[in-house]
């Protein structure tokens, strides 16, 4: 009996100690450490599908090459498809009430998607020889043998495609005539269609074609000596409008009569020339069109005789919709105006300007900017009256639905175009200001522990699991706006293509604040900013309680390199712009320096197109710091198009300029790659803030090897010009990939390696003393990943311990990059089964934790690969000492472990970049991936060896201790009883 009781307690203890490991529930941990946000991007086209019964939806295409169907009730994504970087959507429409039709790839691909579920029904590849404008037209009730006809003009050909199966019914090649078709017109009820457009810049052509068989019925042509500018607008079934070449006259074109008739109206007859240059708005309005003159919008009516009459002039107009047909053949359109902090939405009848169908004023956040596009739809109200809804696209790329004077829903689609990311620490919690509520009733406390115990013993039902998850989400304090002791909660400062900054909380991904930068926006002084980037400007440490951190945003005001830039300084806690500097010098490169002033502002050098260096902040203290380190400041520039890498150094103040913060530079060295054999396709360098724990690396059966650690190391990949394009452009014998490791201070090439029969694209990451790069091997028809590690042999003399003891070592001798380094490299290549979109490496606070490579795959997922698999010292039969060191036996391919996907079953659609951030907890790395979607998580490459997990069961630990104490007490009593019995016997 005594032995049975002991065995019972041992089994109980074993079960209790392993219960948590067995109950590895992942479903109740969803959202604890990661979040995922889905977007579609800036909407270009929108088509409503609102039948009397069923779900109300809108089909959209975006600048991020996404086709999606959105629910009009809540704005949720019903389905979407990301077509890829080279498959831009040209047009979208709905056919037969059940297919979403898309034309993409410059008119090459026509697809039909099932409206309910987004499955592709058919796809057609449209042939053609010439590049041309792409047009999609779905004429009403134009039928053929196979359902309705879809008309497409692309690549110089007019195609008629069946809407049932995508079969090309006929095609008319117009490439020989060199016509650039601008409109495809079908008069109501006719089987004839007109293809009209320009030949050259001054000839107008009109082709009348039988829509049933594609036969050419009539061709008319006429010359217009003044020439044409821009596109043609269809005002009615037989009248077109365009601008002349000088944009000083409006031209109406009547093409359906016996001959083509041109009529000119000078712009000065409509508005004063001081209002600016005329621009035709692409909105389709029956019998009317709109012309923009800077801030003035003029609506012009075209009479039956072809005369132009000004209907109205509006100064605050932002956008005009296409005309929408509704009851009794009437047509209406939407006009959006900006008035103070509101937008004024007006619905007008096309043929009756003086009557407004609807006029609503909606309060609008100034951080959304101006309205850029508006799409309208009609519905029947509960009182049977006519109602209108408007889908608007804002300057910050956000999408909003307006209905009955309110914003029904909004989507922050600007986050689908993130182009740069940095971070900011949250503020320190101040005592007496932030009060955390900790009081809980005894009942709630007991209920929580009972639920945890049920989960531990696998007795929890679905409702209990949901309650446990809610408790964990609440206890994690993810919404807390102060720093946590592990450093998990930060602010991600992301910059979008629209020139808008967002601060995202890493806890739950919510937008803490957003700022559409006044100095970097289309409606400001900087038109169409490009080359946007964001840098940490001020990172307070000692004065964290008194000063807020800030970031610097740099953007060029035009696409060319010599365009002036605008600078903006933004507080990361409040989201307010502290100051801005607009339209200053050009900026080809921004160099953050490793120096800070007394206010902990980081020094930056902005290199202009003439290689002058401009110092920021512009203070005398910053100049003093720079002059003290003047001789130690070097930088490099890469001219990929010219195949040149140059090294630069500062020399003196700029000559001929009254600017003490401007410095001239001198070229130290240059490397010129022969253009006939090598083209620069990729570069990589180390992170400026990367921490290396130790320079020494213990090698099995050897002494210590020393890593070659240099922040001035540059990885460069070049390929043969023939092999720098797409696959199939060059044969293996014509392809060659060459990689270099270059010291950017001296220009010395430390290592060079050639991969024959290989080509790009190359994705590379450089960390500590190693670089990993991904490319394609044409000979093996497989992707490869190679690794190079570089070691410093100049430390070999320091390996002798006795020299260290007696002081005969040179550990304190100065190190100069001008002394030729004695380096040795080790390399190895492996096959990899995936194409790669992005690659990054984990980073931790002290650099102690093992490294993992984070690989963005072609499937838009992030794979974590242990760096040990990319060790150049791997061999087929490692020795026992190498096995103890952790060397993995050599295989020709790198393993893909399904459990190693950081994104789990989620896809980060359109993945473009991966950013890693160190947490305060050494074991943990924060990971942010962005594309059309954004995703955040935290990972532990060496597991959480320095902390207990969040789901650690303290109740189970207490129960285990109680059971142990009970077991000890029972066995002690049994032992005493047995000993007493033995004494009596």
| Residue 22 binned pLDDT confidence (cut-offs 50, 70, 90) | very low
| Residue 603 binned pLDDT confidence (cut-offs 50, 70, 90) | very high
Domain boundary among 452, 475, 498: 475
Residue 11 belongs to a domain? no
pLDDT surpasses 60 at 17: no
Range scoring the smallest mean pLDDT among 341-345, 699-703, 777-781, 876-880: 699-703
Residue 966 belongs to a domain? yes
- Quote the pLDDT of residue 452: 66
pLDDT surpasses 50 at 9: no
Residue 743 belongs to a domain? no
How many domains are there within the chain?
2
Q: What is the pLDDT of residues 905-956, one digit of tens each?
A: 899 999 999 999 999 888 899 999 999 999 999 998 888 777 776 666 767 7
| Residue 25 binned pLDDT confidence (cut-offs 50, 70, 90) | very low
| Helix (H/G/I), strand (E/B), else coil: 466 | helix
Q: What percent of the chain has pLDDT over 70?
A: 87
Can you tell me the mean pLDDT for 861-878? 91
Range scoring the smallest mean pLDDT among 173-187, 392-406, 629-643: 173-187
Q: What is the pLDDT of residues 718-734, one digit of tens each?
A: 998 887 777 767 788 88
Can you tell me the mean pLDDT for 42-59? 88
Q: What is the pLDDT of residues 408-442, one digit of tens each?
A: 999 999 999 999 999 999 888 764 333 333 334 45
- Quote the pLDDT of residue 855: 96
Positive or negative: CA dihedral 764, 929, 862, 473: positive
Q: Which domain holds residue 974?
A: 958-984
The chain-wide mean pLDDT, for the chain, equals 84
In angstroms, the CA 829 to CA 668 distance is: 34
| Residue 813 binned pLDDT confidence (cut-offs 50, 70, 90) | very low
- Quote the pLDDT of residue 504: 95
The contacts of residue 297 (CB under 8 Å, 6+ apart) are 281, 290, 291, 313, 314, 315, 317, 320
- Quote the pLDDT of residue 361: 92
Most confident of 345-354, 543-552, 818-827: 345-354
Residue 71 belongs to a domain? no
Can you tell me the mean pLDDT for 27-44? 80
CA nearest neighbour of 631 among 712, 711, 748, 745: 745
pLDDT surpasses 90 at 842: yes
Q: Read off the tokens for 70.
A: 């959105």
Most confident of 37-51, 372-386, 559-573: 37-51
DSSP state letters, 225-242? TT-EEEEEEE-SSSEEEE
* CA distance between the termini of the chain: 19
Q: What is the pLDDT of residues 72-111, one digit of tens each?
A: 999 999 999 999 888 999 999 999 888 999 999 988 999 9
Q: What is the pLDDT of residues 452-481, one digit of tens each?
A: 666 666 666 777 777 766 666 555 566 678
- Quote the pLDDT of residue 72: 93
Q: How many residues does the chain have?
A: 985
Q: ω before 137 within 30° of 0 (cis)? A: no
Can you tell me the mean pLDDT for 184-200? 86
CA angle 545, 550, 551 (to 5 degrees): 160
DSSP state letters, 522-553? TTSSS-S-EEEEEEEEE--STTTTT---EEEE
pLDDT surpasses 80 at 296: yes
Half-sphere exposure in the Cβ direction for 45 (13 Å, CA): 20
pLDDT surpasses 80 at 233: yes
| Helix (H/G/I), strand (E/B), else coil: 625 | helix
Residue 969 belongs to a domain? yes
- Quote the pLDDT of residue 479: 67
pLDDT surpasses 50 at 10: no
- Quote the pLDDT of residue 581: 86
| Residue 881 binned pLDDT confidence (cut-offs 50, 70, 90) | confident
- Quote the pLDDT of residue 14: 42
CA nearest neighbour of 601 among 567, 625, 577, 585: 625
CA angle 449, 454, 459 (to 5 degrees): 170
Most confident of 84-93, 141-150, 272-281, 954-963: 84-93
Sequence-ordered alpha helix ranges (H) in 132-264: none
pLDDT surpasses 60 at 805: no
Higher pLDDT, 778 or 28: 778
pLDDT surpasses 70 at 19: no
The contacts of residue 711 (CB under 8 Å, 6+ apart) are 686, 688
Q: What is the pLDDT of residues 285-294, one digit of tens each?
A: 888 899 988 8
| Residue 272 binned pLDDT confidence (cut-offs 50, 70, 90) | confident
- Quote the pLDDT of residue 685: 94
| Residue 142 binned pLDDT confidence (cut-offs 50, 70, 90) | confident
Give the global pTM. Answer: 0.87
Q: What percent of the chain has pLDDT over 90?
A: 42
Most confident of 207-211, 336-340, 456-460, 534-538: 534-538
- Quote the pLDDT of residue 435: 32
- Quote the pLDDT of residue 18: 40
């Amino acid at each position: 009996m005594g032995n049975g009781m002991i065995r019972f307690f041992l089994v109980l203890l074993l079960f209790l100690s392993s219960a948590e490991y067995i109950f590895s529930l992942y479903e109740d941990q969803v959202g604890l450490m990661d979040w995922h946000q889905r977007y579609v991007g800036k909407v270009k086209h929108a088509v409503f599908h609102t039948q009397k019964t069923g779900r109300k939806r809108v089909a959209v295409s975006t600048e991020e090459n996404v086709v999606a169907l959105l629910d009009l009730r809540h704005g949720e994504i019903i389905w979407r498809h990301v077509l890829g970087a080279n498959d831009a959507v040209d047009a979208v429409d709905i056919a037969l009430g059940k297919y979403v039709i898309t034309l993409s790839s410059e008119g090459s691909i026509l697809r039909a998607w099932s409206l309910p579920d987004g499955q592709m029904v058919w796809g057609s590849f449209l042939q053609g020889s010439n590049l041309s404008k792409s047009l999609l037209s779905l004429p009403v009730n134009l039928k053929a043998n196979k359902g309705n006809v879809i008309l497409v003009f692309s690549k110089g050909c007019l195609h008629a495609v069946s809407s049932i199966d995508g079969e090309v019914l006929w095609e008319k090649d117009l490439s020989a005539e060199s016509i650039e078709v601008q409109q495809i017109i079908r008069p109501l009820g006719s089987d004839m269609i007109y293809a009209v457009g320009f030949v050259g810049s001054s000839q107008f052509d009109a082709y009348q074609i039988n829509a049933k068989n594609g036969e050419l019925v009539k061709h008319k042509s006429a010359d217009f000596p003044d020439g044409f500018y821009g596109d043609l607008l269809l005002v009615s079934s037989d009248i077109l409008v365009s601008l002349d070449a000088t944009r000083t006259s409006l031209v109406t074109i009547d093409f359906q009569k016996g001959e083509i008739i041109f009529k000119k109206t000078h712009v000065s007859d409509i508005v004063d020339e001081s209002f600016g240059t005329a621009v035709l708005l692409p909105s389709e309005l029956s019998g009317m069109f709109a012309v923009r003159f800077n801030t003035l919008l003029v609506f012009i009516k075209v009479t039956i005789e072809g005369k132009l009459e000004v209907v109205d002039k509006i100064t605050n107009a932002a956008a005009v919709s296409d005309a929408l047909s509704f009851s009794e053949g009437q047509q209406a359109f939407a006009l959006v105006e900006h008035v103070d902090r509101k937008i004024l939405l007006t619905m007008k009848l096309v043929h009756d300007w003086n009557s407004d169908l609807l006029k609503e004023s909606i309060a609008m956040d100034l951080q959304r900017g101006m309205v850029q596009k508006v799409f309208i739809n009609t519905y029947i109200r509960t009182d049977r009256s006519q109602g209108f809804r408007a889908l608007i696209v804002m300057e910050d790329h956000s999408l909003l639905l307006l209905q009955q004077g309110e914003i029904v829903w909004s989507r922050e689609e600007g986050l689908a175009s993130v182009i740069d990311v940095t971070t900011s620490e949250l503020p320190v919690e101040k005592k007496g200001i932030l009060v955390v509520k900790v009081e809980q009733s005894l009942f709630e406390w007991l209920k929580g522990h009972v639920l945890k115990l049920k989960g531990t013993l696998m007795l929890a039902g679905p409702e209990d699991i949901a309650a446990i998850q809610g408790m964990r989400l609440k206890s994690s304090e993810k919404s807390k706006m102060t720093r946590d002791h592990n450093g998990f909660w930060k602010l991600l400062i992301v910059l979008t293509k629209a020139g808008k900054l967002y601060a995202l909380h890493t806890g739950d991904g919510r937008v803490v604040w957003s700022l559409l930068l006044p100095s970097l926006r289309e409606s400001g002084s900087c038109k169409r900013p490009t080359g946007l980037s964001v840098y940490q400007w001020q990172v307070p440490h000692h004065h964290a309680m008194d000063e807020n951190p800030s970031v610097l945003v740099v953007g060029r005001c035009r696409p060319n390199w010599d365009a002036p830039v605008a600078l903006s300084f933004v507080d990361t806690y409040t989201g307010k712009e502290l100051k801005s500097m607009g339209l200053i010098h050009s900026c080809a490169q921004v160099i953050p320096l490793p120096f800070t002033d007394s206010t902990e502002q980081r020094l930056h050098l902005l290199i202009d197109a003439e290689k002058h260096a401009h110092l920021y902040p512009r203070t005398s203290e910053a100049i003093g710091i720079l002059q003290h380190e003047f001789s130690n400041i070097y930088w490099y520039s890469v001219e990929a198009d010219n195949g040149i890498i140059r090294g630069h150094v500062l020399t003196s103040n700029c000559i001929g300029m009254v600017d003490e913060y401007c410095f001239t530079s001198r070229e130290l060295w240059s490397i010129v790659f022969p253009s006939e054999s090598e083209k620069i396709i990729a570069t990589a360098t180390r992170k400026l803030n990367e921490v290396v724990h130790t320079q020494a690396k213990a090698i099995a059966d050897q002494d210590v090897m020393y890593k070659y650690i240099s922040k001035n190391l540059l990885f460069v990949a070049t390929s043969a010009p023939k092999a720098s394009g797409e696959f199939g452009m060059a044969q293996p014998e014509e392809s060659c990939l060459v990689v270099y490791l270059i010291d950017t201070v001296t220009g010395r090439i430390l290592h060079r390696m050639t991969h024959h029969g290989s080509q790009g694209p190359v994705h590379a990451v450089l960390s500590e003393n190693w670089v990993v790069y991904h490319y394609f091997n044409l000979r093996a028809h497989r992707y490869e990943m190679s690794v190079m590690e570089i070691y410093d042999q100049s430390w070999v003399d320091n390996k002798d311990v006795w020299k260290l003891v007696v002081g005969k070592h040179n550990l304190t001798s100065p190190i100069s990059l001008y002394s030729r380094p004695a380096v040795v490299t080790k390399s190895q290549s492996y096959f990899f089964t995936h194409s790669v979109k992005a690659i990054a490496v984990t980073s931790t606070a002290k650099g102690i934790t093992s490294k993992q490579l984070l690989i963005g795959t072609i499937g838009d997922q992030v794979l974590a690969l242990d760096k040990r698999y990319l060790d150049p010292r791997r061999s087929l039969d490692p020795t026992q000492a190498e096995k103890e060191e952790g060397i993995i036996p050599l295989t020709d391919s790198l393993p893909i472990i399904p459990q190693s996907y950081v994104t789990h079953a989620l896809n980060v659609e359109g993945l473009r970049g991966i950013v890693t951030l160190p947490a305060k907890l050494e074991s943990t790395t924060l990971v942010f991936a962005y594309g059309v979607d954004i995703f955040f998580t935290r990972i532990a490459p060496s597991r959480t060896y320095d902390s207990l997990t969040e789901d650690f069961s303290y109740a189970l630990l207490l129960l285990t201790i109680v059971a142990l104490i009970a077991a000890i007490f029972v066995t002690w009593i049994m032992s005493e009883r047995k000993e007493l019995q033995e004494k009596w016997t």
